[in-house]
Amino acid sequence: MSGAHQGSRDQANPLRQLRLDQLRRRTSIKWREYPDDVLPLWVAEMDVPLAEPVARAITDAVALGDTGYTAGTAYPEALAEFARRRWGWDGLTVERTALVPDVMHGVVEALRLLTGHGDAVVVNCPVYPPFYGFVGHAGRRIVEAPLGDELRIDFGTLEEAFRVARSGGRPAAYLLCNPHNPTGVLHTADELTAVAALAGRYGVRVVADEIHAPLVSAGARFVPYLSVPGAEHGLSLMSASKGWNLAGLRGGLLVAGPAAAGDLARVPFEVSVGTSHLGVIAHTAAFRDGADWLDALLTGLDDNRRLLAALLAEHLPTVRYRPGQATYLAWLDCRGLGLGDDPAAVFLDRCRVALNSGLAFGTGGAGHVRLNLATSPELLTEAVRRMATAVT
């Protein structure tokens, strides 16, 4: 067991703490979108209680009425220390960070810094659906570079997409999802180095969405994009939101490589002022004091990945699942089931399990579903048993 995961021995698995009736009292979208007979394994929320250090930090703030505008550098300092300890990376300096309201608004802001209206943004589909929506809303245009057969970056395809994106000499950006949502693929240092070299050759600016970075399986290591050689011009978005389930306590950080410091300096005050003070308090506590809780979660997620593979082999053997080393998302190829382009709609209708439809993830998503395995082993088991009844 690596040092990073030792704390898990002392902590209970957060995925086993809450009963279904407790979860159904929640008012967030995962639990309110569908009626009570539906098991929700869709949107990226986790069925966990709040990590104790985070709960304490925001409870203390509420008790004090500390609910004004945010100030200071505690959040980037906590992230820099976390990056040093967990990823062995000491290149994150507080001066090259900016608060953003959340990760997707940070992505939009980064694209505004690097590109103009109508310019291209390359994405590796299938990918997190809001990449399409937010890029469009920002007035930029998507160029797809589909993942290869192994669900990894295909460098021939990426190069062609860079060429198309830069045609006419216009600025272009590459919105890299590291680790990748929905596949859970963790990009290697070699792959990220190749990305930096290709981006440098074509003059494409890289924006790495690294929101899932803390969620990496035991024995694997996340490589920050900005830590690889040649990535100096890159920007990264980081947050404790996915690792500690803080979407309701919004807050993100835009991090610049050394050669992108000038771009970062142009982030307007009007953007950084949009970050929630309670969010900053929660995210700071998570990165600073939440490592033991995270380690227990990661052990539980590893167990769930193995459980899901076993359940599918037993109940739905034609579904193809390639367990990733990161995120709590499983990308299931259901084309062998003969349920058409949108199996999620069939699973919802026939057996009352809510999954994300692959269709929203761009080219390559048809016939696929995304399943959120950040739940108890019991609910995961029940979901797959129900899904099996949809095809018998």
Binding residues for ligand PLP (CB under 6 A): 44, 102-104, 128, 177, 181, 209, 211, 239, 241, 247, 252
Nearest distance from residue 313's CB to ligand PLP, in Å? 27
Residue placing its CB nearer to ligand PLP in the complex, 299 or 356: 356
Nearest distance from residue 215's CB to ligand PLP, in Å? 10
Residue placing its CB nearer to ligand PLP in the complex, 109 or 292: 109
Nearest distance from residue 310's CB to ligand PLP, in Å? 26
Residue placing its CB nearer to ligand PLP in the complex, 8 or 357: 357
Residue placing its CB nearer to ligand PLP in the complex, 209 or 302: 209
Following CA atoms 101, 270, 141, 118 in sequence, which dihedral angle do they give, to the nearest 10 degrees?
180
Nearest distance from residue 43's CB to ligand PLP, in Å? 7
Name the 3-class secondary structure at 8. helix
Structure tokens at 175: 């919105």
* Euclidean distance between the first and the last CA atom of the chain, given in angstroms as a whole number: 42
Q: How far apart are CA 77 and CA 80, in angstroms?
A: 5
Residue placing its CB nearer to ligand PLP in the complex, 51 or 346: 51
Amino acid letter for position 324: G
Residue placing its CB nearer to ligand PLP in the complex, 8 or 236: 236
Nearest distance from residue 272's CB to ligand PLP, in Å? 15
Nearest distance from residue 248's CB to ligand PLP, in Å? 9
Q: Where are the alpha helices (DSSP H) in the chain?
A: 20-23, 29-32, 52-64, 74-87, 103-114, 130-137, 155-165, 189-202, 261-264, 269-272, 277-289, 291-315, 343-351, 377-389
Q: How far apart are CA 210 and CA 238, in angstroms?
A: 5
- With CA atoms as reference, report the closest residue to 75 among 273, 270, 239, 258: 239
Q: How far apart are CA 184 and CA 343, in angstroms?
A: 20
